A and B are shown apart, each in its own frame.
Chain A
Amino acid sequence: NAGVTQTPKFRILKIGQSMTLQCAQDMNHNYMYWYRQDPGMGLKLIYYSVGAGITDKGEVPNGYNVSRSTTEDFPLRLELAAPSQTSVYFCASSYHGLEAFFGQGTRLTVV
């Protein structure tokens, strides 16, 4: 079972570049989330989606965009990367919030 798949696992970006972090789940979950994890700070919610075509901001949405055109996919777009976006990014999904399943994370460094 694949579960939640994130790509890439590692990426180095230059300041001002853009990129998309991919997330796909094969569990037919309606809820999907993006979190970022900074050292010593726990995980913070960037964006979430309650179903295809519906997204909403979390605690730290600035500098990011998301879309949800299908139930399976929930990509996170970084425009004009900044050093403050250096972090580990986690995608997660759940069925009505019963239990969140996480991807293995993407370590992003902006230099």
Chain B
Amino acid sequence: AQTVTQSQPEMSVQEAETVTLSCTYDTSESDYYLFWYKQPPSRQMILVIRQEAYKQQNATENRFSVNFQKAAKSFSLKISDSQLGDAAMYFCAYRSASVNSGYALNFGKGTSLLVTP
């Protein structure tokens, strides 16, 4: 099974600053998808951004962008102009492109992001 590693249990950022959350993964597959999910205190899982492995271009969604390094198996999330509402647990997740996996997600252990005024 593919493993996803988030090496930063906690991160802190000041409002309006930029923060980068790290994620590495282990796979022998060439085609797959990577995701970042946000989980605020409400417990709801919210999709932040998605990256297809076959795409060279890094995905962006407003203030959120990724740095996808396929050879290094690295998938970091950059949050620009951080806001108080960004405070949450962030999970990196891997999804195989193979239907045999049921398209299930493999999650990392998460990074807790604190945003200070």
Contact = CB atoms under 8 A, between A and B. Distances in A.
Contacts, number: 54
| Pairs A-B, 4 closest by C-beta atoms | A97-B103, A102-B45, A42-B107, A48-B102
22 contacts: A31-B103, A33-B104, A35-B105, A35-B107, A42-B91, A42-B109, A43-B105, A43-B107, A44-B107, A45-B104, A45-B106, A48-B102, A50-B102, A56-B102, A58-B104, A92-B105, A97-B33, A97-B95, A100-B47, A100-B105, A102-B45, A105-B43
Given A43-B105, A45-B104, 20 more contacts: A33-B102, A33-B104, A35-B107, A40-B110, A41-B109, A42-B91, A42-B109, A43-B91, A43-B107, A45-B106, A48-B104, A49-B102, A50-B99, A94-B103, A97-B33, A97-B95, A99-B47, A100-B45, A100-B47, A102-B44
Question: Chain A, interface size: which category?
Answer: 20 to 34
A58 B109 CA distance: 17
A88 interface: yes
Interface residues of B, number: 22
B70 to A, nearest CB: 20
Contacts of A35: 105, 107
Q: Is the interface of A mostly helix, strand, loop or mixed?
A: strand
